[in-house]
Amino acid sequence: MIRLRTVKLVIFGEIPAAAERFKIFFLTLFVFRTKKGKTEYFANILNTLKAMKLLEGKVAVVTGAARGIGKAIALEFAKEGADVAFTDLVIDDNGKATEAEIAALGVKAKGYASNAANFEETHKVIEEIVKDFGRIDILVNNAGITKDGLMMRMSEAQWDAVLTVNLKSAFNFIHAVTPIMARQKGGSIINMSSVVGVSGNAGQCNYSASKAGMIGLAKSIAKEMGPRGIRANAIAPGFIMTEMTDKLPDEVKEGWYKQIPLRRGGTPEDVAKVALFLASDLSSYVSGQVIHCCGAMNC
């Protein structure tokens, strides 16, 4: 005697290209209970679902990705099947190592030396990427610098440098990429903002302004390009442990930790997983939003 029970598993969004992007919204699993009470599942179906990669068949461009958060995002995307093109001001030993790490995950990878703050150079590098990769599905605007200082002592050069690299670079890449995404009838743009772009921070007027601009830019692009199937969102990281923050004195880091309810700094991988969500079809109805990755530091 076999009793048949039906279990409904709801999967939001699309199962990506491992199944050639066949949309599966409801999967019905039949569970058979034998006289002995043992349950047998269709394990092969579940294993197939586990093997499907979220970004299979997609091409991602990540700026400022030779190291740090950008590198973590590029690697996370590659693990989920995306081919990855990344840019940095120079492709030095760090950039070459990043390219090798990405390629070792079994995807196509290439680093491009490019000044993200230069409009013409950005358009040229995007043309090269399309020639090499064939398409662009995901853009992560991660390139950024800091030149901190109190407003009364901040020079015009400090202000201009940060706004140009952090904000104008995002405009440059979005300007170059959106026509491509529009022709493809879809894409995901992710701007790397910061909690200080939401709440401000003394001594970082230039940086805070640039990161607030990244939020406004993402929201505006979401409204402008939404009818063409292009989504745009921003990520606002908090205190993230990178090579730069590792150099801070322990007492300074402890002071930061006390302001974070989770009592620790974030990792580049923490941010990368948020970027993966926004890049993938799991967030197919998420656009114009800011996702904080800050351990409740700014809530």
Dist CA 175 CA 169 (whole Å): 10
Dist CA 45 CA 62 (whole Å): 33
For 288, half-sphere exposure in the C-beta direction (CA atoms, 13 angstrom radius) is 11
Sign of the torsion angle spanned by Cα atoms 170, 179, 24, 106 = negative
Dist CA 89 CA 122 (whole Å): 11
Identified catalytic residue from 112, 207, 257, 285: 207
What amino acid is encoded at 111 in this protein? Answer: G
Residue 4 tokens read as 């048949």
- 9 neighbors 29 (Cβ within 8 angstroms): yes
Residue 257 annotated to the active site: no
Specify the residue for token string 């170059």.
176
Dist CA 38 CA 41 (whole Å): 10
Through-space distance between the first and last CA atoms of the chain, rounded to whole angstroms: 56
For 142, half-sphere exposure in the C-beta direction (CA atoms, 13 angstrom radius) is 27
Q: Other CB atoms closer than 10 Å to residue 243's CB: what's the count?
A: 10
Nearest Cα to 285, choosing from 235, 234, 231? 231
Dist CA 18 CA 22 (whole Å): 9
Dist CA 38 CA 32 (whole Å): 8
Catalytically active residues are 207
